Structure 1
Amino acid sequence: MAQKLLLRLFQSVPLKHLSVPLRSPPSSLLSRVSALSCHTVLCRSLPTTAARAAATRTFSTTQVFRDTFNVQDGDDFQDRVLKSQKPVVVDFHAQWCGPCKILGPRLEKMVAKQKGRVLMAKVDIDDHTDLALEYEVSAVPTVLALKNGSVVDKFVGIKDEDQLEAFLKKLVGP
């Protein structure tokens, strides 16, 4: 949420206020930032790749966030979960649910440890009641394991890390 607000703040500032004339940056700075890439409008307007790298810092996400996504609607669920080539863990949760707030980060951490072998979809039952009804979610948190579009395992309630690891190993395999 904070990242979205910060991004909106940057997008609302006119480009002329963000642009700063650059002189040739020191070579030590260039060597430190050479691994960075540039994707913003500000960076594309700068003259050289070296100046771009020296002028900006990219927003990046951790592995947790690349393997985890929020389901936007039914079509998104169809495309990203049911048609996924990888196994998907679906976390049905609610904002008002205390155990969901504990399980969610714990489950994200365990999915990240799988290093891309499994994905995690988060479904807010208040926003997507149709999906909750379709998958017979009667309590939250409910976690489903889907492989090739079919439910292969399920649990309801909070679990510790060892139980989550066993759940994921059963889904992914050895």
Structure 2
Amino acid sequence: MAHRLLVRRLWSLSTKDLRCLPAPSACSVPRSLHSASPGLAFLSPSRALPSALPRVSRRGVSFSVQDHEDFTERVIKNELPVLVDFHAQWCGPCKILGPRLEKAVAKQKGRVAMAKVDIDDHTDLAIEYGVSAVPTVIAMRGGDVIDQFVGIKDDDQLDSFVSKFIGQ
């Protein structure tokens, strides 16, 4: 999944961002791939990522779930309480709630984690947890659902929702 993310980021770079990379012929990609897809030349593992790509911190407030195995490792097996934000790219309220929820989680200074699950990419997880509308936020501890809400909330309600799982 990380490879897929890397490919998406590289394809989204503009040509201005790519001028810092060496010419495709200098990469260790077979010649047949150059003619089929010139963009693949930049995927050589021997090359460093261009400086135009943002560096992702492992200590971020939230993380995006990559697949069911990632969900199991980072959400179900997590020692911290985890808020799981089921959202969709096309959902207007999700775009409003996401940053607000991240801010509420950040106020807890590492005592709670936040996982983001795109329901279009991970329909199986949405079905498994009974998500029928987005945004849906589920609070989990040790793999158990302890609370949830559907829809948008204001900042005070989010702060209250997040803080009640600390120290339970």
Give structure 2 stretches of 5+ with no counterpart. Answer: 24-46
- Residue 87 in structure 1 maps to residue 81 in structure 2: yes
Match of 2:131 in 1: 137
1:171 Cα offset (Å): 1.1
**What TM-score comes out, normalization by structure 1 length?**
0.67
Equivalent positions of 1:105-120 (< 5 A) are: 105-120=99-114
1:113 Cα offset (Å): 1.1
Match of 2:43 in 1: none
1:169 Cα offset (Å): 1.1
Which residue identity lines up with residue 128 of structure 1 in the other structure? H
Task: Go from structure 1 to structure 2 and tell me whether the alpha carbon gap of 1:12 and 1:127 turns closer, same or farther (over 3 Å shift).
Answer: farther
Give structure 1 stretches of 5+ with no counterpart. Answer: 16-39, 43-55
Which residue identity lines up with residue 139 of structure 1 in the other structure? A
Match of 2:118 in 1: 124
Equivalent positions of 1:1-174 (< 5 A) are: 4=9, 5=12, 9=17, 13-14=21-22, 66-173=60-167
Q: Work out the CA distance in 1 between the residues paired with 2:14 and 2:69.
A: 26
Match of 1:46 in 2: none
Q: Work out the CA distance in 1 between the residues paired with 2:48 and 2:88.
A: 36
1:11 Cα offset (Å): 9.5
1:156 Cα offset (Å): 0.3
Which residue identity lines up with residue 156 of structure 2 in the other structure? D
Which residue identity lines up with residue 67 of structure 1 in the other structure? V
Higher helix share: 1
Percent of aligned pairs sharing the same letter: 61
Match of 1:22 in 2: none
Aligned residues: 135
User: Counterpart of 1:79 in 2: which secondary structure?
Assistant: helix
Which residue identity lines up with residue 131 of structure 1 in the other structure? L
Match of 2:32 in 1: none
Q: Which runs of 4+ in 1 moved over 3 A?
A: 4-12, 59-63
Give RMSD over aligned pairs: 3.3
Larger Rg: 1
Task: Go from structure 1 to structure 2 and tell me whether the alpha carbon gap of 1:134 and 1:60 turns closer, same or farther (over 3 Å shift).
Answer: same
